[in-house]
Amino acid sequence: MGFDETMRYQARSENESARKAFQLAYRALAEKGYNPVYQIAGYLISGDPAYITNHLDARNTIRRIERDELIEELVRAYAERNGENPRG
């Protein structure tokens, strides 16, 4: 497959665990005064769990989910929110 071809990615089914981990991390970060969007993005980009607070056990909770699953959930939620069919 060349660089000009689109590779097909086989996504998993909806991940309720990822959704709940995001919700918990967002809440915990906001409660501690952090910008949740920046902190979660930092974690997803770098893989460094220090971006997520230990408050409410958010760091351990989000680390239980693979980062690719978290990214899939973000894309799915974005598509649903914008009227797209994320199931293709």
Residues 71-82: b if buried by 16+ CB within 10 A, e if exposed: ebbbebeeeeee
pTM for this prediction: 0.79
Among the listed residues 63, 87, 65, the one whose alpha carbon sits nearest the alpha carbon of residue 16: 65
CB neighbour list of residue 74: distance below 8 Å, 6 or more residues apart: 22, 44
DSSP 53: -
Instruction: Give yes or no for a contact between 38 and 29, defined as CB atoms under 8 angstroms apart.
Output: no
> Does the structure show a pLDDT above 80 at 14?
no
Report residue 4's pLDDT band, with 50, 70 and 90 as the boundaries. confident
Take residue 62 and report the two structure tokens written for it.
Answer: 């989000």
> Does the structure show a pLDDT above 90 at 1?
no
pLDDT tens for 33-54 read: 999 999 999 999 999 999 999 9
